[in-house]
Chains A and B, each alone.
Chain A
Amino acid sequence: AQSVTQPDIHITVSEGASLELRCNYSYGATPYLFWYVQSPGQGLQLLLKYFSGDTLVQGIKGFEAEFKRSQSSFNLRKPSVHWSDAAEYFCAVGGGADGLTFGKGTHLIIQP
């Protein structure tokens, strides 16, 4: 069965500092990987996705993620965070029509 682990429930980062959110997955075939962001009380917005090809994926809002098959990881990064980046971040994996498997999320707090 597929699964996603986001080991950090909360992360606090100072505004302007770099960010890395961790994601590890378990999947039996070639994984399709996603990062979504959720602002309070809102739906989910796709930041980026990896299907194949270049293992470094660029997304919206200055985010990027790197797929590392040997480590079963798909960590999300941003070189300099802004206060507006405070939100809940979800990593997900999927490979068919039967939906995605999400991690439990990482709550990002930005300190001024």
Chain B
Amino acid sequence: SQTIHQWPATLVQPVGSPLSLECTVEGTSNPNLYWYRQAAGRGLQLLFYSVGIGQISSEVPQNLSASRPQDRQFILSSKKLLLSDSGFYLCAWTYPRDPLDNEQFFGPGTRLTVL
């Protein structure tokens, strides 16, 4: 069976510090991978998605970046955090062979607080 992991579960960082959030998927190959941010009262916002190693698409210009160094690893980064980066970050994956079957499987999330 497939599982998705995210860490850390919670993170408190000062403004201006760097960020690295990691997401890994087990039990499937070449998944499509996604990073979403959930801010209070704003629902889920798609930040990045990737259909393969080294392939990153950005949905929203921002202070964050993403990388996919391995097939089942997706990393969200920032060089300098802003207060507005606070939120709940969710990683998700979908099967690669049928992009129309868009059921997304979500990880447990990372709660980021920037002070």
Contact = CB atoms under 8 A, between A and B. Distances in A.
A100 B104 contact: yes
B51 interface: yes
Contacts of A43: 90, 106-109
Interface residues of A, number: 26
Given A44-B90, A90-B43, A102-B44, A49 B103 contact: yes
Interface in A69-112: 90, 92, 94-105
A55 to B, nearest CB: 18
A51 B101 contact: yes
Interface residues of B, number: 27
A41 interface: yes
Nearest to B4: A43
A11 to B, nearest CB: 15
B99 A97 contact: yes
B107 A94 contact: no
Contacts of B104: 34, 44, 46, 99-100
Contacts of A32: 100, 102
B57 interface: yes
Given A32-B102, A104-B41, A97 B111 contact: no
Interface string A30-57: 0010101000011111100101000000
B32 A97 contact: yes
A97 B102 CA distance: 7
A103 B102 contact: no
A96 B100 contact: yes
A88 B32 CA distance: 25
